[in-house]
Each structure stands twice: as structure tokens, then as C-alpha cells.
Amino acid sequence: MITVGLYHFLVVSALLFSFGLYAVMTRRNAIGVLLGVELILNSANLNFVAFARYGIFSMDGQLFALFVIILAAAEAAIALAIVLNIFNNFRSINVDEADSLRY
Amino acid sequence: MNTIILYSLILLFLPLAAFAINILVGKRLPRKGDWVSLSAILISFSFALSMFAYMLFIRYDPDFSVEWRWLWIDLGDFVIELGILVDNLTIMMLLVVTLVSSLIHIYSISYMKDDPRYNRYFAYLSLFSFSMLIIVLSNNLFGLYIGWELVGISSYLLIGFWFEKDSASDAGKKAFITNRVGDFGFFIGVLLFFTAVGSFNYGDIIAGVDAGAMSDGLFTAAGIALFMGAVGKSAQVPLHIWLPDAMEGPTPVSALIHAATMVAAGVYMVGRIYPLFSPGALLFIAYVGAITAFVTATIAVVRKDIKRVLAYSTVSQLGFMILALGVGGYVSGLWHLTTHAFFKALLFLGAGSVIHAAHTNDMFRMGGFKKKMPVTFWTFLIATLAISGVPGFSGFFSKDAILASALEFSFAHPGHIMLFILPLIAAGLTAFYMFRALFLTFYGEPQDKEIYSHIHESPGSMTIPMVILATITILITFDQWRGFEYLPLVGEYAGWFQHLIHEPAAIFTGAAAMAESVVGHGASEETAHTIAMWLSIFVAGVGILLAYLFYLKKSLSAEKVSKSLSSIYTLLRNKYYFDEFYGATVIRGVLGLSKASAKFDDTVIDGAVNGTATITIWLSKASRWFDDHIVDGAVNGTATVTTFFGTRLRRLQTGTVENYVSFLVVGILVFFIFQAIF
Amino acid sequence: MQNHLLSALTFVPVLGMFAILFIPRDKSYVIKVVAAVTTGIQLWLAVQMYIAFDTTTSAMQFVEHYAWIPAFNIEYFMGIDGLSAPMVLLTALLSFICIFASWNIEKAVKGYFALFLLLDAGMMGVFVSIDFFLFYIFWEVVLLPMYFLIGIWGGPRREYASIKFFLYTLFGSVLILLAMLALYFYNDPHTFNMLTLMETTYDYNFQKWVFLALFIGFAIKVPIFPFHTWLPDAHVEAPTAVSVILAGVLLKMGIYGILRINFPVLPDATLWFAVPLGVLGVINIIYGALCALAQTDLKKLVAYSSISHMGFCLLGMAALTSAGMNGAVLQMFNHGTISAMLFLLVGVIYDRAHIRDVNGFGGLAVRMPIYGGMVALAFFAGLGLPGFSGFISEALTLIGGFGAEHSSSTFRWLTGLAVMGIVLNAAYFLWAYQKIFLGKLNEKWAGLSEINGRELFTIVPLAIITIILGFYPMPILGMMSETMNGIIEMVKSGAITALQ
């Protein structure tokens, strides 16, 4: 029987991170980018929880995970507000088109 | 306050008040204010006369002296006291000054009639009288110096009174500046005495020097320095040049200032502070006097202008007085000062009367005036006899006394025999040139018919002063006539002048041997007196005879003599080239120096200032260039470099979020790899 | 007793200036009247001061003493003694007279009188300040109005002259500032109070350097050879009234500064510097007179005569004798009145003829007898004739110079040379007088009008003062003698190193 150890968690987390990063880099839709960010954040959460379970950090990992979840919620709220504003200004939520700061 | 002092103060300040009134409102007063000045001086004269009477008839005391001191400046450590000293000499001089001045005032009323600046003329006369009285009354050197300068300025104003003539304004300026050169020495002398003694008062200084406040050398030097003032004021060689030119002024002025009073101030000063001259200084004084007497008498011989003759004659006679004081003939010098004041004023007034009638000064255009101007002639004759030293007249006695003193001195010091020879010749020349003037003016045929036709005797206000002066000229030495002392009542006044005025005690400071022998009395005095008298009668006679032969009988020709002695004649005509000499040296020197200073100021000093400015401007231009190109260049350079990179780097700013994220990831990866390798 | 007389003297002109600023510019007559009233009040205050002045003490009087900037120990400290009191009188008198001398100014009347009153305040402040910092501020306040008064209302080369004046004096001010700070930091606790500064004993070398810096700063103002060339230019270009103030008051500030600060504060250096000071004085006298003799511009001639006359002050001061010191301050006062007269008189003829070249006139005494008489009076006063105040002060400085107790033989020779300056003074004044007034009337000027009442009003009071002081100088000498003797005492007792 295969025991689920730290290693498995880390692989899952790495995969999640990679998907998230991929989404952030390739998505043009701002919402898609946000989803990618969420994935990255959750991969980090997974790591925190795994290290808390197997490592020497006791409860600190859980605490940080909780903190990241709250932060992610706040971040999502602000990011959605920005997206709304981008939409209002550009009539699109395509991030490529919001290029006013370009040279 | 003492009555004498009170009188002195009143007679001193009355003319000043008259001056102030006349200069301010004289023009609006009736008769243009001449009566203000005249009454002021007449009141002064009456005070002086009463003091004289007091001196002569009540006191008759050789040692009579009253002094009054007034603290003028008080600075704690330093004080200046002014004051008044009245003794017999002062009173004598007061009488001379106020009397001659009063007569001149009267004379001027007619002489200056119709002059546009009539009131100013009288104002200046009053100013002069005031200044002269300061000199006479002062009891200290500082007050003396004040009077000294003030007579100088009144003389300047009066010489240049007809300033429309350039020669007159030049003469005034020349007189003032020449006098200031003398005053330079005078002031140094004052400073030397003050620094040594700490007081300006005559008595204090004499006492201080007597107590040994000064070394012998310094004492002599200080005395000579003081005497420089007398050289300027009394027109002694080499500063005599201003007096002949001063004849540009109105003739009454010449009579008052440049004959009777101001020019005598130098002699009076030497007499006043006689003890302050060491034997060495006195010898110097004697030589200055002898040389002046001789030199100017020779110049007078060839003058054509009647006033110039009198001017040089004045200088020459002043030389006699100075000489007398120098050789120890204290009384004879001051006596001559007194007699000379009257007869020389008379001569000038006579000349003024002639000039007033003839409108020319040139004696060679006159001649035969005797008939038309009898009063002028007779008074002029009396004065001429007096100055020539004809026995019985005042000048004879006083000049004789001077020659006697000089001879006595020469007996004691045979090396200084020139001190007798020079004035003796000068005495002969005096007789000659004065009779020459008399003959040319009043005798012979009229040289210029036109002038002769309109001449006339002067009005009473001019002739009366002349008659008064003529009377005084004769009477002043009445007491010297033989047998006077046997007269009842007045007999005791024989020799009153010699009784009242006597030589003050000298200060003996070491080298006193010389002076000691001068004062030596006894047989040599008698002998000297006799010899001098006969010699002076003889030279006067020769002088008169020669003048008669040359100018009246014409048996000798002046032209021939002047031709045969042409070099001497030219020298004399040109007054020994004194003026030319000063013109070429002193005046040119000072003017050159002043031009050089101004140039130095403009080019070097101001040049340095402007140069500093130029350098500053140049520096500022350089630093502006530096600022523009280097400093600002560096600043702009930084900007340029920044722009250069900025334009290239900004291309990274694509605006595409994917790119940014890619850079981020790549960056992190690079970072990781980098860390893994090292 | 604290009263506010000195503050009033200083700040009344400032009030007047503000009053003028509120008057519309076209009401020039009102402006002039306000200026006249202001200076009149100031003169009245100065007379009150003269009446109340105690001549028996050398201490500061009418003292006003307040803290001003306590952090730096700067005080508002005013007071006058026998040295400054005559200067205060002179300043008030000349300011009042100059308002009337400026009566026919037409260009920018408002600005002119406002600046003039500011200048007045500055000058007064210099003479009443005892705090060095306050003194320095007033010293600088004087500069600026002067610059504009010459630069705007001056003659053809006014820009050159005013800039020259300004930069020259500013250069001097910098040196004064340096010296002031050096003295400030030398003392512990730091202070600008002159009276305290006098009590400290300074290092000998320090004294010399500070003396030199202060001296050059003040010498420029006097002006002392070779720092004098701004003066002829400034005088020639300045309008009459400004010339009068320049010669009458500004030049005195230099000598005043030396006597007020250099002498009592730095006694050792003073003795060390006495002979050079005397030499400079004699150079001023002779050189100024020689330069005057070479001038044909009448105003320039008078300017150089000022240089010559200020030399007497220096000689008298350097001698450190009672006669010399008192004579020097009296000479300051007298030169103030006499040179004012001279410049006013030059202004009179310039207003009429528009030239000042002495060779361009001739025989004017016939046409203008009163004017000729006034000029003669002023010239005689200038050449040191007895009966005028200048004679007494010059004689006192010479007597003082001759009697110097330190380096006495040097001073004798110097004074001997200085006496020669008197001969030269006579030469150039008489020469100029002859050229302008004597001789035949130059027909070109036959139409000149006689001096008028307003002009006489400006000159006659000065003439009267000159004559009164010429007969009896104690009204002014009596004010100063205690203080001046005190300064001599201070120098002689304070000098420790130099006497050894």
C-alpha cells in the first residue's frame, strides 16, 4: 500500500503552481489571469499545510494558509474592482488592450 | 576789569561791528554806510588817544603793563587762552594804527567816491582795522596768528578790490599766497614754542624758555621759523615780491596797509616777542633786513611808476627796521616804525592825490605839478625830506639811530661790517630815488600837456589828512631838536619815546656771548652815533645832489648812465628776476606736481580701481563660459546619457502583461539557476 | 533713565518715508512738505538732545537697551556720548537743509524723498548704535538709498559712479563684517556690545588683523588714500543735496567708526598703527590739495578738498593727544558744515549755467554780488581762515599732531608737512575764486540771476554756524572733550603689548 507522504503533496502543489503560472502567462481574459493567480496561491497553501503536517513548524503552516485565504479573498475583491474599471475604460477585459502605460 | 582793558576791547570790536553792518546792510544805509566805518574808527582812535595821553602824561612809566587773559578753549588737558596785553609799545602802536586808519578813512571818502562797491570798501577797511588791532593787542602767539591771517585776507580783499582788472586779482592772490608761505614758517615756530612750553602766552613762553624748556639749537630754529612770518608780512627778501604788485589796490589802501600798518606788523611782532630770538636768530634777522634794505632800494631807483617807487621804498625801510632789531637796536627799529608809518602814509596819500588828478602812475608823464597842486606838493616835500634823512625831520633821527646801532654792532663784530655798509648805501639811494620822484613829478616842464591841463588840487577831505600827517611827521621828533629839553613844562618829555619803550631783558641760553657784547655800552656807543650821523648826512646829501643833477638840472643824463651800465640796469629793471625765478621753480614745480598728482590719481589709482573692475568682468566672463560649457555641460551630459538609455530601455515596456510575467518567471529561473550553480 | 529720544531720532524719518509712500505720486508739493516736516521734527529732537546733553561725563547717555535676538546675544542698544552727539546734530541739520536743497527735483519726486528719508534714518542709526550688529545694519541701510539717489537722479555718468560707490563701499562692509564676527567669537560669551568689546584684552596679532580689516572698511568711507577714487566720481554725478549728504555726513561715518571701534577696542593695534595713520593723514592733506589744484571741474575741486580736509582728522587722531582728538572730531563737524556750504553753492551755479568748468566763467562777482560774497565766505572758511570754524579745528589737529607723545619726532615732521597743505589749500581756493568771480565779466553769463531766497535759506544757517564756532568753538568742543579724553585714556591704558 502506498502511504501518502510529503512528497505527494509537493508534487500536487508543483503541478497546481505550474497550471496557475501557465494560466497567468497565457490567458488574455483578465478573469482567467485572476483564476491563475488563485491557483498559485492555493498551491502555496497546499505547501504550507503539508509542511505543517510533516515538518517541524507545527501549527504555523495552518495559520499562514488561513491568512493567505483571507488575503486571496481581499485580493480577488480588489482585482475584480480593477477589472471592472478596466472594462469601463476599455470596453474589454482583455489585458492586452489595457496598454496605456506602454512606451 | 581794568579800564585800560575795557578800552582796548571796545576799540578792538568797534571796527568789527562796523564791518558786519557795512557788509550786510551798508548798501541800503544813507551815504552807503561810510559813516559807520568812519565813526567806528574815530571812536577807536579817541580811545587810543586817551590811552596814549594816560601813558604819556599820567603814568610815564617804562614798565607800564596790563594783561588780561581769557580762557577760550578748555579741553581739560589742553587749553588755549586768548587775551590782551597793553604796555607802552602796544599803546604807541594802537595810536599809529587808529590814527593812520582814521585819516585814510577820511581820505577815502573822496578818493573812492562813485565806486560801485563803495560800502564794501569801507567794510573791508573796518575788517582790516579790526585784524590789525588784534595783532597789536594780542598777548599770545595764537591770537597773533589769528590777526596775522585776518590782515592777510583783508589785504587780499583790498588789493583785489578792483577785481575786474586781472592784474589786481592776480596781485591779491599773490599777496595772500606769498604771505601764507611765510605763515607756514610762523605756524611751525608757534608749534615749536607751544610744544616746548605748553602755552601760547608771550610771558609764559619767555618764562618757560628761560627755565630751559628748549635746547639752544631748537630755540634758534624756532625763532627763525617765527621770523619767517615777519619775512612774509613785512615783505622782506626773499618774500618781498608781493608788495610792489599790491600797489594794484586803491592808493589809500596802499598807504594804510602796505606802508604804515600791516607791513609793519612783522617788525612789531619781532619787537613784541624780542626775547624769543636767540643771538643766532637775531643775526639772521639782521642780515635779512640789511639785504632787503639794499636790494629793494636799488630796484626803486629805476622804477617809472610812482607807486612802485614808494612800494620798494617801503620794503627798503622795513629792511632798516628789521636790521635794527637784528643788531640790537630795539628802540631805534620801533622808533623808525613809528616815524615811517606817518611819512610813508603821507607819501602814498600824496601819490594818491597826484594819481587821482592825473589818472596815471607814470612819473615820466608828469612834471611841473607843483603849481597846480600846492598842498600836495608841500606835504610830499616834507615827507620826502623826512624819508631821505634830512636833519631835523623825523626820518633823520630814527634812521640815524638805526645806522648807529648797526655801526656799533660792527664795531663789536668786525666780520659783520656789511650790516653797516649795505644800509648806509641804501640810505643814500633812498635820498636819491625819493628826490628823483619829487623832481619828476612836481618840478620841471610838464611832460604830458594833456594831463597837465586837467589836473587840479584834490578836495579838502583828501588834503586835510595829508596836512595832518605832514604836521605829525615834523612834530613827532620835536623833542629831539636841540634845546628842547630846556623848554619849560614840556622839556621833561625830551626823549619820551626812548624813555617809554625799552628793550626787554633777553633770555641767555648758552651762546649768549655774542648778544652780551652787542648790548655793551660806553664810549663805542657815542663814537658810533657821531660817525653814523655824519655819514648818513653825507650820503643823503650825495643822493639829493645826484637826483638834482640828473633830473632837475639835467647836467647828467640818466639815459647815458643806464646805457653804460646796461647789464646792471636790465637786472634792476627786472627786479633781479625774483618773479621769474619763482615762476620757473616754485610755481611751476607746484603746478607740475599737482598735474602729476591728478594724473596719478586718474591713471594709477583710479586705473587700479577700474582695472580691478575690468579683471572682475573678465573673470566673470570666464566663469560664465565655464558655467555654460563645463558645469552646465556636465548637468546636460547626465541628462543626455539618461535619455540615451531611456529611449532604448523603454522598449521593454510593452504594455502586455504576459510579457511582464514572462520576464518575471525568467528572472526567477535565472536567479535559481544562478544560485544552484554557485 | 530710559527715554526713547534716540529711537525717535532714528525712526521718525522712516515714518515719514511710509507717509510719503501713501501719497499719490502727482502731489509732489505735499511730498516735499511731508519730508520737510519729518526732518524738521528730527532736527527739533536733535536740538532737544543738545539741550539735555550732559557735557560733564564720558558715559553713554539717552541709553536704550533691550534684548533683540537673544539666541545670538544681539541687542537693541542705543546711546550717545560726546563723540556721536555732534554727529547726530550734524546729520539732523544737514538732512533738514538738504530737503530744501532738493526742492527743485522734478524726476520721480516720491521715490527721491522716500529714499532720502531712508538714508537719513540709516545715517542717524549708525551714529546712535552701540551694538555692533545694529551698527552694521544701519551702516548697510545707508548704502542702498545712496546707490539709487546717485544712480537715478545723478548726472550723465551716474551709473558708473553709483556702481563704483556701491561696490567700493560694499567691499569695505565685507571687511567690517569679518572683523565684527572675529570680535564676536573672540569674546566668551559671544557679544556684539561695543562697551563689552572694549573691556576684553585681545591677542596682539589678532588686534592687528582686526584693526586692519576694520580700518580698510572705514577708510573707504572716509576716504583715505588710496581708497578715495570713488569720491570725486560720486560727487560729480550726484545731485546737489546728495553731494552735501555724502560730504557732510557719509565721510564722517568712516572716521566715526575708527574712533568708536578701532581706538577703544583695539588699543595695542592703535598705537602700532598710529604712525601709518598719521602718514596717511598727511598724504591725504597734501595729495588731496595737489589734486584739487589741478581740477577744472568745480565740484571735483571741492571733492578733492574734502579729501584734503579729512586728512587733518586722521593726523589729529593718530597723535592721540587731547588737542588732536578733539580737533579731529571738531574738524568732522566743521567740515560737515563747510563742505555742505561749498556743495550747495556749486549747485546754485550749476542750476543756472549747467556747467561747472571754472574756466568757463569769469567776472561773476559783478553780476552776482551776494552769491560771490557767499562763495568767498565758504572758500575762506575752506582755506582755514581765522574767524571760521575750520581754522580752529585745523589748528587744533596740527597742534595736537605736533605734540604727539609717541613717535614724537616722526609726528613733528609729519605735521610740518601738513602745515604746507594750508598753503596749497589757499592756492586752489583763491585760484578757483579768481577764475569764476574776478576779472572781466564773461558776457555769456550776463543773464545769470542772483541767488534766490530758498538757496540762501539753505546756506545762511550753515554760514552762521561756521562763523559762531569760528569765534567760540566751545558749544561743540565742550560736548566732546570728556569723551575724547576718555578715549585717549582708554587707548593709553589699554595698550599693553605695544608699550613694552
Distance CA A6, CA A52 (A): 10
User: For B237-295, what is each residue's pLDDT tens digit?
Assistant: 889 899 988 888 898 998 888 888 888 899 999 999 888 888 888 999 999 999 999 99
Model confidence at A102, pLDDT cuts 50, 70, 90, reads low
Task: Supply the pLDDT for residue B514.
Answer: 47
Low-confidence ranges of chain B (pLDDT < 70): 1, 507-524
Best of C399, C417, C425, C460 to disrupt the B interface (most B CBs within 10 Å) is C399
Distance CA B102, CA B96 (A): 10
3-state SS of B357-391 is HHCCCEHHHCCCCCCCCHHHHHHHHHHHHHHHCCC
Of A48, A65, A66, nearest to A57 (Cα)? A48
pTM of the complete model = 0.85
Query: Residue A25: which of B650, B655, B658 has the nearest Cβ?
Result: B658
Chains that touch A (3 or more CB pairs under 8 A): B
Q: Would you state the cell numbers that stand for residue C195, as one nine-digit string?
A: 562697551
CA distances from B359 to B353, B369, B443, C47 (A): 10, 13, 18, 58
Of C38, C155, C144, C23, nearest to C100 (Cα)? C38
Q: Which residue has the cell 586768548?
A: B82
Cβ–Cβ below 8 Å for A24 and B661: yes
Best of C434, C443, C480 to disrupt the B interface (most B CBs within 10 Å) is C434
Task: Supply the pLDDT for residue B567.
Answer: 85
Neighbours of C348 (CB within 10 A): 23
Query: Residue B169: which of C415, C416, C438 has the nearest Cβ?
Result: C438
Chains that touch B (3 or more CB pairs under 8 A): A, C
Cβ–Cβ below 8 Å for C230 and B195: no
Q: Which residue has the cell 470596453?
A: A91
Phi and psi angles of residue C69, each rounded to the nearest 5 degrees, phi first: -120, 85
Q: Would you state the cell numbers that stand for residue C137, as one nine-digit string?
A: 545694519
Q: Find residues 478-507 of chain B whose CB sits inside 8 Å of chain C.
A: none
Distance CA B88, CA B502 (A): 9
Task: Supply the pLDDT for residue B512.
Answer: 43
Of C343, C243, C331, nearest to C285 (Cα)? C331
Asked whether the beta carbons of C23 and C31 are under 8 A apart, the reply is yes
Q: Which residues of B touch C478 (CB under 8 A)?
A: 74
* A12 shares contact with chain B (CB less than 8 Å): no
One-letter amino acid at B130 equals F
Sign of CA dihedral B83, B84, B85, B90: positive
**CATH architecture, domain defined by A6-90:** Orthogonal Bundle (1.10)
Q: Would you state the cell numbers that stand for residue B186, as one nine-digit string?
A: 610762523
Task: Supply the pLDDT for residue B433.
Answer: 92
Low-confidence ranges of chain C (pLDDT < 50): 1
The burial of C167, by beta-carbon neighbours within 10 Å (0-12 exposed, 13-18 middle, 19 or more buried), is given as middle
Task: Supply the pLDDT for residue C1.
Answer: 45
Distance CA B71, CA B146 (A): 16
Nearest residue in chain A measured CA to CA from B658: A25
Distance CA B160, CA B175 (A): 10
Q: Would you state the cell numbers that stand for residue B103, as one nine-digit string?
A: 585819516
